[in-house]
């Protein structure tokens, strides 16, 4: 069977079978060439211009490396060749539904990219190729793998504590940004993956042999450091927050349709915004006049549930931003709030095979003497996550008032907005 070879800066040669090559040539997949992997991080790290296209190829490559290593296990005979082909294709297509500038629009309530992927995979040209080559139910089975809802023994390769997606993006993002935080031993991690019997169901599942736990610790710490220093860098979050407000305002004004967001490329969306909703905020983002920090506070200094309405209630957050701006004599859109949220940033749920053959489930609680880093996951998350107020011009805001506001409940914030007295 002929194989195409693509050169990749991270993994060197990536071999593509004819099915994967045909899928790559579809318009839905080609769009990923023009969707940056790290969104607006290139405004801070100039090398971070790599795309979802490259990352998808890298994840596919890791699936081709990993599955053959699992074939030597006794339980692999129950999996079958078709399941292996589905895993490779799912690895290739796992990000096909990403919005322009990656995850940012999910933060304003847009459908998760995995939900967006469903019609792209189950309808149109991609679906036709999959049904022809892999069977009538192939698109639906691939969507289940991508969304973590499959009962396949290989599900953990695509959605889990040590999935192949993480192995590629942590190394690729660090490499392209020119930082060392994401340097993980991918080869060691892949070679310690194994098939084990889930002690609760007795079904085969992806697990890890215990000697790979030190490499897993390195992966978890690398992920924390990448969030702290790259993904949630204060200037990256400034640009991201500006972009989110731009799109939110355009959606509210009817200049954009939420149903079509995932059809745009990065530059395509900015072009449409420039035509339909030109603003000073858009111009500032184009010219890299990023908003400045007027206030910041780590989550570790706040109550556990403080400020969550900023992360998950777009309409309330915009109303508060506008009210704060008015109190400070600023125009609407000149003050922005940011409190990023990442569910289970350091979450852990993994089956581990001990030297005796016993299989244990490792969660964030860990087990005594085996792994300690997961026990610190909440502390890591709270130290990487910061509540910030950004303003168009450099200024200082009363910290006490903002902290008090963050600790108000959603209902209390709405009540203060109604009486026109947001701060104190």
Residue 380: the pLDDT is 77
Give the model confidence (pLDDT) of 214-252 as tens digits. Answer: 888 888 888 889 999 999 999 999 999 999 999 999 999
Note the pLDDT of residue 371: 54
Mean pLDDT, residues 170-176:
96
Percentage of the chain beyond pLDDT 90 is 72
- For the ranges 144-153, 288-297, 376-385, the lowest mean pLDDT is seen at 376-385
- pLDDT tens, position by position, 32-62: 999 999 999 999 999 999 999 999 999 999 9
User: Which residues make Cβ contacts (< 8 Å) with residue 139, sequence separation at least 6?
Assistant: 121, 122, 126, 127, 130, 131
DSSP characters over 267-301 = HHHHHHHHHHS--HHHHHHHTT-PPEEEEEEEGGG
pLDDT of residue 369: 47
Model confidence at 271, pLDDT cuts 50, 70, 90, reads very high
CATH placement of domain 15-228: 1.10.3210.10
**Residue 36 pLDDT:** 97
pLDDT at 111 (0 to 100): 80
pLDDT over threshold 60, residue 384: yes
Are residues 171 and 10 in contact, defined by beta-carbon separation less than 8 angstroms?
Answer: yes
CA distance 141 to 415: 47
Q: In the 3-class helix/strand/coil scheme, how is 223-254 assigned residue by residue?
A: HHHHHHHHHCCHHHHHHHHHHHHHHHHHHHHC
CA–CA dist 352, 217 (Å, integer) = 13
Q: Which helix (H) or strand (E) holds 402?
A: helix 399-406
The pairs formed by 175-180 with CB atoms below 8 angstroms and a separation of 24 or more are: 175/9, 175/10, 176/37, 176/38, 176/45, 176/47, 176/48, 176/49, 176/50, 177/38, 177/41, 177/45, 177/47, 177/48, 177/230, 178/45, 178/47, 179/45, 179/226, 179/229, 179/230
pLDDT at 191: 94
Integer angstrom CA distances of residue 148 from 136, 143, 159 = 20, 8, 5
Between 299 and 77, name the one with better pLDDT. 299
Looking at the DSSP assignment, which residues form a beta bridge with residue 336?
390
Cβ atoms of 163 and 205 closer than 8 Å: no
Q: What pLDDT shows up at residue 269?
A: 97
Mind giving me the DSSP string for 136-197?
Answer: TTHHHHHHHHHTT----TTGGGTSSTT-HHHHHHHHHHHHHHT-STT---HHHHHHTEEEEE
Question: Does residue 368 carry a pLDDT above 60?
Answer: no
- For residue 362, the number of C-alpha atoms closer than 13 Å in the C-beta half-sphere is 32
Enumerate helices (H) and strands (E) in the chain, giving the number of each.
18, 9
The CA distance from 185 to 170, in Å, is 11
- The residue that leads in pLDDT, 363 or 304, is 304
Q: How many CB atoms lie within 10 A of CB 18?
A: 12
Report the chain's mean pLDDT, rounded to a whole number: 91
Query: pLDDT, tens digit, for every residue of 303-353?
Result: 989 999 999 899 999 999 999 999 999 999 999 999 998 766 666 788 999
**Are 150 and 144 in contact, with CB atoms under 8 Å apart?**
yes
Number of Cβ within a 10 Å radius of residue 284: 18
3-state secondary structure of 18: helix
């Amino acid at each position: 069977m002929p194989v195409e070879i693509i050169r990749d800066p991270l993994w060197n040669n990536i071999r593509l079978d004819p099915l994967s090559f045909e899928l790559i040539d579809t318009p839905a997949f080609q769009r990923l060439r023009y969707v940056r992997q790290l969104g607006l991080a290139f405004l801070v790290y100039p090398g971070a211009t790599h795309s979802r296209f490259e990352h998808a190829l890298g994840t596919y490559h890791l699936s081709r490396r990993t599955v053959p290593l699992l074939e030597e296990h006794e339980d692999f005979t129950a999996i079958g060749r078709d399941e292996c082909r589905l895993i490779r294709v799912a690895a290739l297509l796992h990000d096909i539904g990403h919005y322009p500038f990656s995850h940012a629009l999910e933060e304003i309530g847009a459908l998760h990219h995995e939900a967006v992927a469903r019609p792209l995979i189950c309808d149109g040209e991609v679906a036709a190729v999959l049904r022809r080559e892999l069977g009538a139910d192939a698109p639906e089975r691939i969507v289940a793998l991508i969304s973590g809802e499959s009962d396949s023994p290989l599900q953990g390769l695509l959605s889990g504590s040590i999935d192949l997606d993480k192995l590629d993006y942590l190394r690729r993002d660090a490499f392209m940004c020119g930082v060392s935080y994401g340097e993980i031993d991918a080869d060691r991690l892949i070679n310690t993956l194994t098939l084990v019997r889930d002690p609760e169901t007795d079904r085969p599942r992806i697990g890890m042999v215990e000697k790979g736990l030190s490499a897993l610790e390195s992966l978890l710490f690398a992920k924390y450091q990448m969030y702290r220093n790259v993904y949630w860098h204060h200037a990256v979050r400034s640009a991201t927050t500006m972009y989110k407000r731009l799109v939110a305002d355009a959606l509210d004004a009817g200049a954009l349709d939420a149903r079509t967001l995932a059809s745009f490329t990065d530059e395509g969306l900015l072009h449409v915004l420039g035509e339909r909703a030109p603003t000073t905020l858009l111009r500032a983002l184009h010219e890299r006049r990023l908003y400045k920090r007027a206030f910041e506070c780590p989550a570790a200094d706040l109550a556990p549930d403080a400020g969550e309405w900023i992360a998950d209630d777009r309409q309330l957050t915009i109303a508060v931003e506008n009210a704060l701006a008015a109190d400070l004599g600023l125009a609407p859109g000149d003050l922005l709030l940011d409190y990023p949220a990442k569910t289970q940033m350091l979450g852990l749920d993994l089956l581990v095979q001990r030297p005796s053959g016993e299989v244990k489930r490792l969660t964030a609680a860990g087990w005594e003497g085996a792994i300690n880093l997961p026990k610190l996951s909440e502390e890591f998350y709270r130290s990487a996550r910061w509540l910030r107020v950004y303003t168009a011009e450099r200024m200082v805001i009363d910290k006490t008032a903002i902290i008090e506001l963050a600790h108000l409940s959603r209902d209390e914030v709405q009540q203060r907005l109604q009486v026109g007295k947001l701060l104190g």
